Structure formats: C-alpha cells, structure tokens
Amino acid sequence: MNVLVVGGGGREHALCWKIAQSPLVKQLHCAPGNAGIAELAQLWPVQAEDVAGIVALARKLEAGLVVVGPEAPLCAGLVDALTAAGIKAFGPSQKAAAIEGDKAFARELCRRHRIPGPQFWTFDDLRVALSFLDNREDAPLVVKAAGLAAGKGVVVCGDNDEARVAVRACLEHHRFGEAGRRIVMEECLEGPEVSMIVLTDSRTIVPLEPCQDHKRVFDGDQGPNTGGMGAYSPVPSVRGRILAQIENQILLPTVHAMNREGRPFSGFLYAGLMLTPLGPRVLEFNCRLGDPETQPLLMRMKSDLVPLLLATAEGKLESCEAPAWDPGSAVCVMATSAGYPGEYGKGVPIRGLESVERSAQLQVFHSGTVRRATETVTSGGRVLATCALGKDAREARERAYAAMAKIEFAGMHYRKDIASR
C-alpha cells in the first residue's frame, strides 16, 4: 500500500519514521515534509492546507491511506474532501475537528455533557468583555482566542490588568485575525499537566500512554508559551486510579458527546489536562497528535502503527489489539531558532547532524528544516528535536541531551530541564 502523510513538522517526521517500519507500506510519500522526512519518504511540494492539491496528489500516488498530521487541514475539511473522492483518510472530519478549531464550542460541549473543566465565559464584543473584567474581583484568568492560532493564542494572566491587555489584543487589535474574533476567558486552574491521547473511531477508544510536554520557552517554566519545547512519556504519577478517572470522566464521555452532537470523532483525540486537587480537568482538546508528544510516544510504541491507523479510518478499531509499549521512558528535547516564539530568522545552516548516530534508542526528528544545495538549514521556530529511549527517564534524558550537544546552529536554543522533575 502507498501511504501519504500530510504535514511537515516533527510530528510528521516521527509518524513517517514509524510508518516506514511497517511491512504493509510499499511507498511512503509526504507533503510538504522537511529535510529529515526526505530521508524516509518521497516529498511533494504541496502545502498541507491546500485541500484540492492534496486530494489530487493522493489520487496521483494511488494512496491506500492518507494520514493527516496537523490541525489546520483537518479543520479545513481535508479528510471530508479525501473521503468524498473515495480515498481512505485518517483523521477527523471538519465537524469533529471543531473540538480544536473552536475553543468556545469545545468548552460548551463540556458544559452540555458535564465533562469537567474550568469555569469559562465567551465574548465577541470588546466592551462586554472589558466590563466583565471591571465587575470581577482581581484573580488569575486565562484568555484564549477561540480559533486556531498555532499554539500562540492562549495567555495565562496573573490579574485583570493582564487580562485586559490580552482581551484587547484579540478583540481590538485583531492580533490573531479571524481566530481571535471570539475569545474564551477561563478560571485559571493549578496543578501538574498531562496530555492523554486516544485513538478512536468514535466507537472504540485505544488510549496511548500518558505524556507531558513543556510549553514555556525557558527553563523552570519561564517565558511565553510555545508549541512545545520538549516532552516525555510515561508520566509516573499518571496511572491506576487517576488514569481510570481520566478515561471514565473525560475521554469516553467526550467521544460519546461528539457522537450525540452529530460530530463523530475519528482519529487521534488529544486531551490536555490539569490534575487539580478536585480531579482531572480539561485544559484543551486537540484533534490530532501533539507535537512534540508524538516523538516520545512513537518511540515507545512497539506495535505496528499502520494497522491501527487503517482500522480507525475504516471504523473497525474494535478488531485491533491494543498497542504494546516499551516499559522504559522516552524523552524529546526541542531546539528552536533565536527569538521563537516571537519573530525569528530562517535559512540558518545546521551543523553536526551526521555525527548523531541514529538507532531504535535515538532519533533526530526535524520540525522546521529544509535542504538547500548541500546543507540542511532552519525554516521554522521549532527546528529539530533529539528523542531518546532509555530504561528510565534519566537514561533517556542523558541520551537526548548528549545528542543535542553534537548539533549546532547560530541562535540555537533549547531547555536544559526537560523531564528533570
């Protein structure tokens, strides 16, 4: 079977790495891909959001399965378009992807179906939002653009003044364009965070292992939020009763709720959770695998991923065995361009990649890289990650950092404290 992976980040590199190992795959293609993926798959210069272009490419390649990685094409209806063209596609429909694409919808879904989350309020009018703040006691609040903002639309505010600035950024200065025309304000929750991702065809759910990402740009969780500076799996505190609570109070009810609202969800459903003293609470849903969470998760997954993806796309997930996992730990450390998550340059040559010896225990997954003549150069804010497997978190972390020490590019930044708590 020919497989086409859509996207070009670290998540798609890890997906291609895993999919390429499957005996079911004849040819592996990726659009648009990146310099790392080029070593595993044939690349095609079609953007992930170009729905008509991807459908045409999938047809031309006679793809037996198209795996859509990022949220933007999912929210734009790529899976619907592929399905309508008779092409088997993995990922949620546009209606189901709204669980990520519209944070106001996701919050209201939780409220309607009693899925535990923070108190929240939605606004699309600047004056109404500001007067809400004027009449509210000073307290931490989270302000979110309701639409897709590439992981940058969430501001955790210490007090009402900070919240006013965040509200104005969306509703007055239109910093996130259409995505910020509606905002969600939320009670600020506290506690450790965990990401739980399940594979579901809307009837059966197959939970992946718990994992955790590091969202702030600097060590000690300082600085602004990013798309993710590193991740690890498993999360030792998340097992037993807590895991059962997460499944029974959040994951299963959410899949049911989507069915009941006529938006059956098929694909990877990602729940970002806060483990509060009162139990797990939903921070956000994503309609896809997390990046960088995918990297350590797939490194630990021992089973073939392709039968699971196929069964999900065909609505036959109940017939699959749950995947087997390496009992050890995997740690992923992300290197970013100077300035990220703000403005950053591109086209910076990357050195030392060839000196990292890849194995089942160690991989370099590219996020924002391109091949230029004889060099690999940066092309994004998050550039690449080293991801290592070890018998425990310490061994995995040491391996990932030893590999990162061999790589360099001007302005390179990475956190030194991933998985060290």
CB 61 within 8 A of CB 4: yes
Using the rule CB under 6 A, give the single segment among 154-162, 242-250, 285-293, 411-419 that binds ligand GLY: 285-293
User: Between 153 and 192, how does the x/- string for binding to ligand GLY read (CB under 6 A)?
Assistant: ----------------------------------------
215-254: which residues touch ligand GLY (CB under 6 A)? 227-228
Which of ligand GLY, ligand AMP, none lies near 118, with the C-beta cut-off 5 to 8 A by kind? ligand AMP
240-259: which residues touch ligand AMP (CB under 6 A)? none
137-176: which residues touch ligand AMP (CB under 6 A)? 142, 144, 154, 156
User: Between 104 and 143, how does the x/- string for binding to ligand AMP read (CB under 6 A)?
Assistant: --------------x-----------------------x-
How far lies 320's CA from each of 66, 311, 313, 324, in Å? Answer: 19, 7, 12, 12
Residue 231 dihedral angles phi and psi, to the nearest 5°: -160, 160
Cα–Cα distance, 241 to 245 (Å, whole number): 6
366's tokens: 């590219």
Cα–Cα distance, 51 to 66 (Å, whole number): 12
Least distance to ligand GLY from the beta carbon of 241, Å? 25
Helix (H, G, I), strand (E, B) or coil at 92: coil
Cα–Cα distance, 402 to 42 (Å, whole number): 30
Please tell me whether residue 225 binds ligand AMP under the rule CB under 6 A. Answer: yes
356's tokens: 């990292």
Least distance to ligand GLY from the beta carbon of 400, Å? 17
Cα–Cα distance, 42 to 32 (Å, whole number): 10
CB 4 within 8 A of CB 87: no
* Torsion, CA 39, CA 40, CA 44, CA 49, rounded to 10: -110
Among 290, 296, 328, 381, binds ligand GLY (CB under 6 A): 290
Least distance to ligand GLY from the beta carbon of 326, Å? 21
Among 189, 238, 384, 393, binds ligand AMP (CB under 6 A): 189
CB 66 within 8 A of CB 89: yes
Q: Which of 283, 353 has the CB closer to ligand AMP?
A: 283
Using the rule CB under 6 A, give the single segment among 129-137, 172-180, 183-191, 296-304 that binds ligand AMP: 183-191
Among 12, 80, 186, 209, binds ligand AMP (CB under 6 A): 186
Cα–Cα distance, 230 to 212 (Å, whole number): 8
How far lies 373's CA from each of 11, 370, 377, in Å? Answer: 25, 10, 10
Please tell me whether residue 291 binds ligand GLY under the rule CB under 6 A. Answer: yes
Strands (E) located in 180-328: 183-187, 193-200, 205-207, 212-213, 216-218, 222-225, 230-233, 267-276, 279-286
Q: Which of 159, 398 has the CB closer to ligand AMP?
A: 159
Among 12, 186, 293, 326, binds ligand GLY (CB under 6 A): 293
Using the rule CB under 6 A, give the single segment among 160-168, 289-297, 311-319, 366-374 that binds ligand GLY: 289-297
User: Between 259 and 278, how does the x/- string for binding to ligand AMP read (CB under 6 A)?
Assistant: -------------x------
Residue 300 dihedral angles phi and psi, to the nearest 5°: -85, -15
Binding site for ligand GLY (CB under 6 A): 151, 213, 227-228, 286, 290-291, 293
Binding site for ligand AMP (CB under 6 A): 118, 142, 144, 154, 156, 186, 188-189, 193, 215, 225, 272, 283-284
